[in-house]
Amino acid sequence: MNLAEIIYWIGSGIVILVLLEALISMLKPIVEFRRTKQLMNLSAKKLQRELELVPVSSATPGSNRAWRGYRRFILEEKVAETDDICSFLIRPVDGEALPSYEPGQHLGFQFRIPGQTKLTTRNYSLSCAPGDPQRYKITVKRIPSPPDQPSAPPGQGSSYLHDSISIGDLLEVSSPAGRFVLDRQDPRPAVFVAGGIGITPLLSMLETICTENINRKCFFIHAVRNRDEHVFRDHIEQLITNRSNLDLHVFYSHQEEGQDFTTTDPAYHEGFLDVERLVQITGGGDLQYYICGPPPMMSAIVPALEESGVSSDSILMEAFGPASTRKNPSVDSTAATETPTNIEKWTLHFNRSNQTILWNGSNSILELAEKSGIHIDSSCRSGNCGTCEVPLLEGKIEYDEEPEVDISQGHCLTCVARPTSNIVLNV
């Protein structure tokens, strides 16, 4: 090979190398673009999966109006009030201002408890006066196993809050709801009767009366087992001190051995609260009653008040339990399999579950669905939160009282709706 051929091949190699380098330079942006696009698609899919786990909320950004569904909150503070009662202060993750609420209302919570296949929903009363646009406060008692069933599991929701939720953890919360609220317009003396942890909505009312300087005669009566379980004792005494329109009375039903009882203090009493002692304290007459407590107390106090002549319209109440407290209920809610003779025998067909149930005239649509193993998300069970709203495909329903939430066209709230024809639900 002569010199000219050598120079030719060396030059050709150099040209090829230059062309390859140019080609690589041209291809590199294309490869980088495709790699970036792939990463963006993966990030988008990941974000979509995360968004699907976020509770649905229709709260308008930047507004402080009530929201539909569940909104994500963070536990900011956890305060032990007694050995088994704890207050939880929560703020919204989005940082937007919170809607105010009426004293006496509650929040709905949706828990994803490990080991449970279904979501657990619970309602807890707001336990302070409205006014803080950044935080809400609830106070919850750990519910133990029933005394007569020590092997039964303790309260699922309360145990989860007490034992598993720590500061910084997230909670799914529905908007304030409930009709058990302070009537600021009624001028009559008010009688607040709380049983145990049933004090929480009444404390919100009492604080409101004090912070708004409502000059209304009020009797605040708390029935509790003993001093150790007397939640908010010092706080309430401080609220009522030097306020001539507020009278405090406490009933200890089960004083522990060794605990001193101050019999000289007219505000403290031994034994159970009953209507006779209520009349002694209040003097009777035209009064407005706010009553909240466990079913045994409610079933003893409320019917007795009605039998003594107090009108049902003068008794506002909220039972911390499932029992009915009105006297002579028209239909026994436990007789779910019996159909009263004075109602139409409408059928409820659950489309997706392919089950048809005969309406019994007493249980709500939600309760009948649950009895048949059909799951419907729920929270307040009183038409206040909208959680149990489902599509109504066929038929007609009505409400004894208009729900407090807007219902989408073609839907119904199963917790308070009653059928007026055969109906088909998309559940």
Give the angle 352-358-361 at the CA atoms, nearest 5°: 125
Which has the higher per-residue pLDDT, 358 or 10? Answer: 358
Query: For residue 278, is it within any domain?
Result: yes
DSSP, collapsed to helix, strand or coil, labels residue 298 as helix
Q: 21 and 126: one domain? A: no
Q: Amino acid identity of 233?
A: R
What's the CATH code of the domain at 371?
Answer: 3.10.20.30
According to the model, what pLDDT value does residue 238 have?
93
The whole-angstrom separation of Cα 240 and Cα 210 is 8
pLDDT tens across 121-138, in order?
A: 888 999 999 999 999 999
Q: Give the Å distances, CA to CA, from 249 to 53, 235, 287.
A: 48, 14, 17
Asked if the structure places residue 330 within a domain, the reply is: no
* Domain end call among 139, 154, 177: 177
**29 and 91 co-located in one domain:** no
Which element (helix H / strand E) includes 38?
A: helix 3-53
pLDDT digits (tens, 9 = 90+) for 40-67: 554 444 444 444 444 444 444 444 567 8
Torsion 333-337-342-343 (CA) sign: positive
Domain assignment present for residue 339? The answer is: no
Average pLDDT over residues 368-375: 88
Q: Is 189 exposed, middle or buried (0-12, 13-18, 19+ CB in 10 A)?
A: middle
Structural domain for 10, as ranges: 1-53
Averaged confidence pLDDT in the chain? 82
Q: Which pLDDT score, from 0 to 100, does residue 69 have? A: 80
Q: Work out the number of other CB atoms within 10 angstroms of the CB of residue 154.
A: 13
pTM for the model stands at 0.71
Of 80-94, 172-186, 363-377, where does mean pLDDT reach its minimum? 363-377
- DSSP-based three-state secondary structure for 233: helix
Question: 138: domain CATH number?
Answer: 2.40.30.10
Share of the chain above pLDDT 70, in %: 80
The reply to whether 166 and 199 lie within a common domain is no
Buried b / exposed e across 7-25, counting CB within 10 Å, b at 16+? eeeeeeeeeeeeeeeeeee
CB 78 within 8 A of CB 166: yes
Cα separation of 273 and 296, whole Å?
Answer: 12
